[in-house]
């Protein structure tokens, strides 16, 4: 048996079947666009987020670079300040070194001046004619000046210098030597009487001095020049008795023999 179908019903059914067949395709297309849009939106958001992160990173880097530059500038300024301070300190150090050097020089000059003044007044240890004594620098200088005159055979000025010495330094350790050389200068100047007096003072004041025997022999010579033969003989006899082992005593014995 065959069922007859109405033409309109078949058309409707065909349409319905066609719509049913098309519906999944339209629905699939519709849902696919939404997902794509969401994917695009997500991608855009990710890109924007990445861009923001990049911008933030760049900004941070720029800020970091700026901070680094500021730090470098600050460091450069500090280094320059330190250099300036070092230059200033070096200048001060050089100035101090110059001042210390000048003070040291002045101190040396002052010390040299003090030493020179001390040398002029500080006693000297003298060894002369078998005697050891202290003498002032001026004292030593004046004695040597008088001796220089005697060595030059300036007997008159030498006698004057020795007399002046005795007046200025009456207690000098040079005194016995001065009396001896004074008597010799007077003898050479033919002032025999003064020569006898000077040598007699030496023998009287310093009998143990090594010049005393020679002074007694010189006295005898001056007395001979004064035509005092007896006085000369007594002086020779006293010389032999007082200083028997001296060279002057040996010479005195020879003269005594001639006087006989």
pLDDT, tens digit, for every residue of 5-14?
444 444 444 4
The full set of domain ranges for the chain reads 62-122, 124-259
What letter does residue 121 receive in the DSSP assignment?
H
pLDDT at 243 over 90: yes
Fold of 124-259: 1.25.40
* pLDDT at residue 51, rounded to an integer: 81
pLDDT at residue 138 tops 90: yes
The more confident residue out of 154 and 21 is: 154
Give the global pTM.
0.58
- What's the pLDDT at 70? 85
134 Rama sector, left if φ>0, alpha if ψ -120 to 50, beta otherwise: beta
Q: What does the pLDDT read at residue 3?
A: 46
Overall average pLDDT of the 193-199 stretch: 98
174, containing H or E segment: none
* CB neighbours of residue 224 within 10 Å: 18
The pLDDT tens digits of the residues spanning 201-238 come to 999 999 999 999 999 999 999 999 999 999 999 999 99
Taking every pair of C-alpha atoms in the chain, what is the biggest distance, in angstroms? 223
Q: Rounded mean pLDDT of 172-183?
A: 98
pLDDT score recorded for residue 115 = 67
CA-to-CA separations, 171 to 138, 144, 205, in angstroms, rounded: 14, 17, 12
Look at residue 110 in the predicted model and tell me its pLDDT: 86
pLDDT per residue over 27-58, tens digit each?
444 446 778 888 888 888 888 887 888 888 77
**Rounded CA separation 255/250 (Å):** 9
Instruction: Report pLDDT for 17.
Output: 53
């Amino acid at each position: 048996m065959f069922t007859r179908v109405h033409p309109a019903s078949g058309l409707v059914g065909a349409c319905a079947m066609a719509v049913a067949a098309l519906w999944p395709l339209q629905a699939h297309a519709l849902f696919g666009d939404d997902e794509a849009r969401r994917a695009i939106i997500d991608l855009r958001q990710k890109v924007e987020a990445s861009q923001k992160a990049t911008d933030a990173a760049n900004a941070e880097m720029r800020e970091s670079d700026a901070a680094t530059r500021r730090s470098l500038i600050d460091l450069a300024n500090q280094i320059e300040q330190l250099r300036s301070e070092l230059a200033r300190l070096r200048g001060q150090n050089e100035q101090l070194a110059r001042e210390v050097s000048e003070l040291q020089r002045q101190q040396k000059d002052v010390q040299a001046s003090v030493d020179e003044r001390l040398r002029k007044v500080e006693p000297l240890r003298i060894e002369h004619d078998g005697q050891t004594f202290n003498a002032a620098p001026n004292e030593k200088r004046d004695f040597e000046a008088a001796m220089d005159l005697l060595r030059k055979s300036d007997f008159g000025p030498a006698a004057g210098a020795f007399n002046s010495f005795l007046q200025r330094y009456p207690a000098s350790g040079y005194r016995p030597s001065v009396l001896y050389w004074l008597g010799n200068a007077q003898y050479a100047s033919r002032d025999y009487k003064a020569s006898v007096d000077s040598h007699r003072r030496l023998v009287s004041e310093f009998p143990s001095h090594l010049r005393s025997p020679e002074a007694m022999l010189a006295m005898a010579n001056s007395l001979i020049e004064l035509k005092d033969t007896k006085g000369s003989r007594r002086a020779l006899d006293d010389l032999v008795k007082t200083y028997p082992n001296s060279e002057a005593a040996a010479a005195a014995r020879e003269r005594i023999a001639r006087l006989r």
